[in-house]
Amino acid sequence: MYYQVSRSIGDIYLKKPEYNMDRIFRKIGLVIALKRLALTTEPQIHVRELKPIDHFLIFAYDGL
């Protein structure tokens, strides 16, 4: 199964349970109903307080 970046527009059958068993989406690989959502549009945000001894700030992501 192929899908777009998890925090993007598209792949509604992986984001909304009311769409995940629609016969249109079953043609592209989803054959069972999902118990929980596979993708989300909500960002994960972590806040850290910088201290005087901090020398680096690393910004990382796992998508495009």
CA distance 40 to 9: 10
Domain ranges of the chain: 1-64
CA distance 38 to 15: 6
pTM, full prediction: 0.30
Task: Dump pLDDT digits (tens) for 2-61.
Answer: 544 555 456 666 666 666 666 665 666 555 666 666 666 677 788 889 899 999 888 776
Q: How many Cβ atoms from other residues are within 10 Å of residue 22's Cβ?
A: 13
pLDDT at 52: 93
